[in-house]
Amino acid sequence: MDCLFCKIIAKEISANIAYENDAVLAFHDISPKAPTHLLFIPKKHIARLDDIEEVSVMSELYAAIIDFANQNEYRKAGFQTKIHVGEGGGQEVFHLHIHFLSQKKL
């Protein structure tokens, strides 16, 4: 499958990894829009949010985000999460991902 983020998961393409567990990988966005800009992705390939068959995928992604944020003390600075869905929704890479943005640098 010709998927950029699957290649990052397979370590065929390098990325600056910030968080990883069995189900989720997070790495720095190559074109950051904030002092911290990460992408949280499921290790299982799902092209877009509305392709999800088991909503537990979203629990795993948000559990990872909360774990990452608490471990790295983002509570005071706060952060935003954002999902682009489909070309009309601004999605450019068709492997589900949640943008994590904060004014606090990691």
Using the rule CB under 6 A, give the single segment among 23-31, 43-51, 60-68, 70-78 that binds ligand AMP: 23-31
Q: Is 84 a catalytic residue?
A: no
What own/partner pairs with CB < 8 Å and gap ≥ 24 does 46-50 have? 46/95, 46/96, 47/94, 47/95, 47/96, 48/85, 48/86, 48/91, 48/94, 48/96, 49/83, 49/85, 49/96, 50/85, 50/86
Can you tell me which of 23, 29, 58, 81 binds ligand AMP, judged by CB under 6 A?
29
In this structure, the chain runs to a length of 106
- Shortest CB 16 distance to ligand AMP, Å: 8
Q: Does 91 bind ligand AMP (CB under 6 A)?
A: yes
Can you tell me which of 84, 101, 104, 106 binds ligand AMP, judged by CB under 6 A?
84
Contact positions vs ligand AMP (CB under 6 A): 4, 13, 15, 27, 29-31, 39, 84, 90-93
